[in-house]
C-alpha cells in the first residue's frame, strides 16, 4: 500500500511542555488507523499538527509525498484533508442544511456539491428528516452525524476524527462506528481515528498506535492489539 501520510520524528510542545516527543507513524491509502490512549497522551495533538493548528518544534509531516507541515490550514483542506473536531462544534443557529454546506466552502462545483449533499443525506437519513431544523435542536448523536457529513462535503481523501464517540449514547456510538467503516469503504477515504473508546477504535481499524505522554508505546495490527496484554491492561479494562 502507498503511504498517504507520514510523520517523521515529530516533536510539538505548548508553552515549553512537550505534547509529542519524536512521534513517527504512517497512514496508507484506503486504511483506517486508530490512535488510542488516555487524555493528554498526545492523540489530538497529532491531528492539530496535521491540520496546521499547532506548529512543529521538529520533524516533518508528508501527505501524498509532499511536505505538509508549515502549510496554511485552508490549503491543507484543499489538499484533501477534513477534520471532525472533538465536541462537534456545530453552528447552532444555522440549519442542518447550512451546516452541511459550510463543509463545501473550498468548492465551487455546484453540481458536485449537490451530489455530495445527496450522498450525505442518503448515508445519514436522520439529517434528511431534520434538514431545515436548527442544529441546536439535534441530539448529540445527530450532531455528530452532521459534522461528519459536513467534513465529507469537502470531498476529502483523508478524514480526521477526534473522539467521535464522546458524549454519545451507546446505541448511536454503534451507528457512528458503522458509518466510519462504510465511509472508508464506499468513499475510498483514509481515516485517522482518535478515540478513547479503545475497544470500538480497534474493532473498526486495520492498524493502531497507542500513545502515552506524547510517545508511541505500542503499535501494530488492530486485531492483534485486541489480545495484546499491554493493551488489554491499559486500555481495555484487562479483558477482551
Instruction: State the alpha helices, DSSP H only, in the chain.
Output: 43-50, 73-78, 96-102, 110-123, 125-129, 140-152, 170-186, 198-204, 222-225, 229-235
- Decide: helix, strand or coil at residue 191: strand
Residue 57's pLDDT is what?
Answer: 93
For the question of whether the overall pTM of this predicted structure is more than 0.75, the answer is yes
Residue 48 confidence (pLDDT): 94
For 114-120, the CB contacts below 8 A with 24+ separation are 116/152, 116/153, 116/155, 117/153, 119/152, 120/149, 120/152, 120/153
In sequence order, what DSSP letters do the residues of 52-111 get, joined into one string? TSS--SEEEEEETTEE-TT--HHHHHHTTEEEE-TT----TTSBHHHHHHHTTTT---HH
Using the Cα atoms of residue 138, residue 200, residue 33 and residue 53 in order, give the sign of their dihedral: positive
**Under DSSP, is residue 126 helix (H, G, I), strand (E, B) or coil?**
helix
Q: What is the pLDDT along the chain (240 residues), one digit of tens a residue?
A: 678 999 999 999 998 888 999 999 999 999 999 999 988 899 999 999 999 999 999 999 999 999 999 999 989 999 999 999 887 688 999 999 999 999 998 888 999 999 999 999 999 999 999 999 999 999 888 999 999 999 999 999 999 999 998 888 888 888 899 999 999 999 899 999 999 889 999 999 999 999 999 999 999 999 999 888 888 877 775 443
Q: Which position has the grid cell 465551487?
A: 108
**Which residues, 6 or more positions from 222, have their beta carbon under 8 angstroms from its beta carbon?**
34, 201, 202, 203, 205, 206, 207, 208
Cell, residue 63 = 501527505
Cell of 94: 444555522
Q: Locate the domains of the chain by residue range.
A: 3-86+158-235
**Antiparallel, parallel or unpaired: β 190-194 and 58-63:** unpaired
pLDDT value of residue 106: 85
Region at 171 (left for phi over 0; alpha for psi -120 to 50; beta for the rest) = alpha
CATH domain 3-86+158-235 topology: Rossmann fold (3.40.50)
Cross-strand partners of 58: 11
Amino acid at each position: 500500500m502507498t503511504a498517504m501520510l507520514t510523520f517523521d520524528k515529530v516533536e510539538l510542545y505548548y508553552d515549553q511542555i512537550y505534547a509529542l516527543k519524536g512521534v513517527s507513524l504512517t497512514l496508507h491509502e484506503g486504511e483506517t488507523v486508530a490512535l488510542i490512549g488516555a487524555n493528554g497522551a498526545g492523540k489530538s495533538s497529532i491531528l492539530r499538527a496535521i491540520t496546521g493548528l499547532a506548529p512543529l518544534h521538529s520533524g516533518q509531516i508528508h501527505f501524498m509525498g509532499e511536505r505538509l507541515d508549515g502549510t496554511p490550514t485552508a490549503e491543507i483542506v484543499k489538499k484533501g484533508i477534513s477534520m471532525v473536531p472533538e465536541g462537534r462544534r456545530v453552528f447552532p443557529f444555522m440549519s442542518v442544511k447550512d451546516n452541511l454546506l459550510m463543509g463545501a466552502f473550498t468548492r465551487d462545483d455546484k453540481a458536485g456539491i449537490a451530489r455530495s449533499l445527496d450522498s450525505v443525506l442518503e448515508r445519514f437519513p436522520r439529517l434528511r428528516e431534520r434538514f431545515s431544523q436548527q442544529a441546536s435542536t439535534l441530539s448529540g448523536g445527530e450532531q455528530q452525524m452532521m459534522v461528519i457529513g459536513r467534513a465529507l462535503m469537502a470531498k476529502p481523501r483523508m478524514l480526521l476524527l477526534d473522539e467521535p464517540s464522546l458524549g454519545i449514547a451507546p446505541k448511536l456510538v454503534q451507528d457512528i462506528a458503522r458509518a466510519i467503516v462504510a465511509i472508508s469503504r464506499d468513499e475510498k477515504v483514509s481515516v485517522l481515528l482518535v478515540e478513547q473508546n479503545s475497544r470500538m477504535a480497534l474493532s473498526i481499524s486495520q492498524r493502531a498506535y497507542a500513545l502515552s505522554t506524547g510517545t508511541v508505546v505500542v503499535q501494530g495490527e488492530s486485531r492483534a492489539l485486541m489480545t495484546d496484554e499491554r493493551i488489554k491492561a491499559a486500555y481495555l479494562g484487562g479483558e477482551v
